[in-house]
Structure 1
Amino acid sequence: MYLPAVHRTGCGSRTSTSQTTTREAGTLAAANHCFARAVPELLPVATAAIGGLARAVRQCRLRNQADRNAACLLFEQTPIPDADFMLTLAHSRLEAVLAPETGGCIARFSLRHDGGIQQLLRPLAHDHASPGPLDMACYPLVPFSGRITNGRFRFGAEDVALPPDPICVPHAIHGRGWRAPWEVLEASANTARLRFVHKPEDAGGWSWPWSFETEQHFSLGLEGLSVAMRLTNLSSAPMPGGLGLHPFFNGRASARLQARLPEVWESGPDGTPTGLAPVPEKWRFDEPRDMKDVDVDHCFSRSEGRFRVDWTDRPFALRIEATGAPHAIVYAPPGEDFFCAEPVSHAPDAVNRPEREDVTGLRTLVPGETMELLCRFLVEEA
């Protein structure tokens, strides 16, 4: 009999009913799912036990992370998630730790190898006092990827003014999912399904005028980790939509990236794109390229959705295969020991670009329509 590994590293006083509701629903969903399949007659006992745990959780006090969000009123008003709530998936030699209430992020993705643990993505530090999404191994991008200039755009009859994100004032960036708690709908030994629902009237100032539902389905197998993302328009009017994942790769000093990325979106001083151009030699990744001296923060177009990351001092490599992601962001900031290769559905600031949607990748979702993105992180011998 299996119960998903749900653990905390600390506790504190809850600040909103929605947080405890999310925790209880996720924990109960996981317990009910597993017990119902394994030992149906024990389901009432399990539900009572988990319910008692949830009641105890109500008495805890969450660490105050308001100082992390002080740059913007929106994030001061957003309910503070329980950063200590983690969900662990395991299969054979692989383990993935999820942080549902901290942006639906992947906190760690690791491989047991030769008697030790090898981190496949940059891991959340075990001793981190108050982690946020920027400290995680990977976070979701939904309902858009990249920047929106000054947080403003017009779509249909809507004039939209999103609040600035603290990391790139005055622009909005990466949507809402990475800044919000996600609900655990289902969990098993090696799978989990998370959901986040946005309603404008409950968004606490994040002024995206369309309702939507988004899910992430994580599945850990012998080959690696797959993440299936879905975005559904729940509103009564068409809305712009986009999806992506933002993984961090560590060990940049010995890392190499290989990907076929034939075009690049040139950008201005503020980082927003100005137009498409052929990729210069310094950013070509057709052959494995050392990342230690690469300085780039750009979106590439006509991506095949395939990347390969290897390390000269590690016996394994990661192959990334994505569908529904014709664009890719490569981010390698100077002075850091990480870089990012992000499969995304559209270019930054696509809502403000004059090009057609088949060029920018932006989707227009009619009411009830769903778009999807699938990304697989496959482990292979180097």
Structure 2
Amino acid sequence: MTDHGITLFRRGLTADLDRRGAIIAGLWWQGANGTRHPLMRDGSMHGGDPLRASCFPLLPFGNRVAGNRFTAGGQDYSLEPNQPWDSHYLHGDGWLSLWTVEQVSDAAARFTLRHAAQPGQPYAYEAAIDYIVTEAPALAMTMTLRNTATAAMPFGLGLHPYFPLTPETRLHARAARFYTEDAAFMPGPEAPRPADLDFTRPARLPRRWLNNGFAGWDGRARITWPESRLALAIDADGAFSHYFLFMSDTAFEPGFAGEYFCFEPMTHRADGHHAEDLGGLALLAPGEVMTARVVFTPEETAA
């Protein structure tokens, strides 16, 4: 353990973590042949910037809120942008916070965060993230959040992992509904799924800008890298009924070379604050708790 970083290891699976944002800075698998493979992109050079990491948490909700305003319990709330390149308050504030390391061992670590409400950041909450490299081996990530405000607020949880993208990379992730993208990165209306975004069976990812939400997810996904004879199974509990798919381009990210894509498990849809049913967000009363778990398991394949 360094000032910020922690390394977990068990049975060939290594997870590098950092309390700056409670991020994953690297997830590596060393299989039977001794070769070390990245299961998420190498984020070792993140330097405290979650956008350069391997994965960061989304809380007290993920994505954006239209107009940076929402109403809960008859009270109006406003949000302030938290990134210089985006006009929205993006992905909550957990990923931009310095977490406390409460417990750490060779194969497990617990991060905690207390966040007080302030202008432009109206959420007050306590959060914990438990990372465990299990005997399987697999990386299990459990997120727990408690509303410490004096009023009910809509909360959600999610993850923002960056996965290696190779010419043969395939994704398998069933979902019932697809959402288009509107202006300023906001979600658009539900629409028929484009043929190149149909992952009901394993399929290659298109090489183009992607920024779309999927709903009615069964919580199971599988990424396959045939060149390495390697796959990663993603198993999320029932709280995760949505996922977001992102792929950058050179217009948004000039240095982008097509080396990663993001598959983001979420408990709610983007801009759920303005959906009649809150789009999967949980309206937590003061003191109420929500928790959600995702497990990443490497699998060696025949081809």
The TM-score, its normalising length taken from structure 2, stands at 0.91
Q: CA deviation digits over 1:216-271, x for unaligned, max 9?
A: 11110233100001111112210110000111101333311111022112231222
Tell me, which stretches of 5 or more residues in structure 1 are unaligned?
1-5, 9-84
- What is the distance in 2 between the residues matched to 1:321 and 1:260? 12
Residues 1:298 and 2:212 are matched in the alignment: yes
Match of 1:22 in 2: none
Residues 1:211 and 2:133 are matched in the alignment: no
- What is the distance in 1 between the residues matched to 2:212 and 2:107? 34
Asked whether the equivalents of residues 253 and 337 of structure 1 are also in contact (C-alpha less than 8 Å), the reply is: no
- What is the distance in 1 between the residues matched to 2:295 and 2:84? 28
1:1-382 to 2 correspondence within 5 Å? Answer: 6-7=1-2, 85-100=4-19, 102-113=20-31, 114-125=33-44, 128=45, 130-166=47-83, 168-200=85-117, 205=119, 207-221=120-134, 222-291=136-205, 293=207, 295-323=209-237, 324-334=239-249, 335-353=257-275, 355-357=276-278, 360-382=279-301
Instruction: Give secondary structure in 2 for the equivalent of 1:351.
Output: helix
The structure having more radius of gyration, on CA atoms, is: 1
- What is the distance in 1 between the residues matched to 2:38 and 2:100? 26
Asked whether the equivalents of residues 175 and 216 of structure 2 are also in contact (C-alpha less than 8 Å), the reply is: yes
Report the AA paired with residue 198 of structure 1: H
**Alpha-carbon shift at residue 134 of structure 1 (Å):** 0.7
Tell me, which stretches of 5 or more residues in structure 2 are unaligned?
250-256
Aligned pairs, number: 291
Q: Name the structure with the higher helix share.
A: 1
Report the AA paired with residue 38 of structure 2: Q
> CA 1:219–1:129 in 2, change beyond 3 Å: closer, same or farther?
closer
**Alpha-carbon shift at residue 151 of structure 1 (Å):** 1.8
- What is the distance in 1 between the residues matched to 2:9 and 2:185? 39
Instruction: Give secondary structure in 2 for the equivalent of 1:298.
Output: strand
TM-align CA RMSD: 1.7
Asked whether the equivalents of residues 318 and 379 of structure 1 are also in contact (C-alpha less than 8 Å), the reply is: yes
- What is the distance in 2 between the residues matched to 1:225 and 1:263? 28
**Alpha-carbon shift at residue 129 of structure 1 (Å):** 7.5
**Alpha-carbon shift at residue 292 of structure 1 (Å):** 5.1
Identity %: 31
**Alpha-carbon shift at residue 306 of structure 1 (Å):** 1.0
**Alpha-carbon shift at residue 116 of structure 1 (Å):** 3.0
Instruction: Give secondary structure in 1 for the equivalent of 2:184.
Output: coil
Q: Name the structure with the higher strand share.
A: 2
Asked whether the equivalents of residues 262 and 278 of structure 1 are also in contact (C-alpha less than 8 Å), the reply is: no
**Alpha-carbon shift at residue 287 of structure 1 (Å):** 1.3
Asked whether the equivalents of residues 60 and 123 of structure 2 are also in contact (C-alpha less than 8 Å), the reply is: no
- What is the distance in 2 between the residues matched to 1:195 and 1:178? 12
- What is the distance in 1 between the residues matched to 2:103 and 2:30? 26
- What is the distance in 1 between the residues matched to 2:46 and 2:189? 42
**Alpha-carbon shift at residue 333 of structure 1 (Å):** 2.1
**Alpha-carbon shift at residue 163 of structure 1 (Å):** 1.2
- Which structure is higher in RCO with an 8 Å CA cutoff and minimum separation 6? 2
**Which of 270-279 and 105-114 deviates more?**
270-279
Report the AA paired with residue 132 of structure 2: S
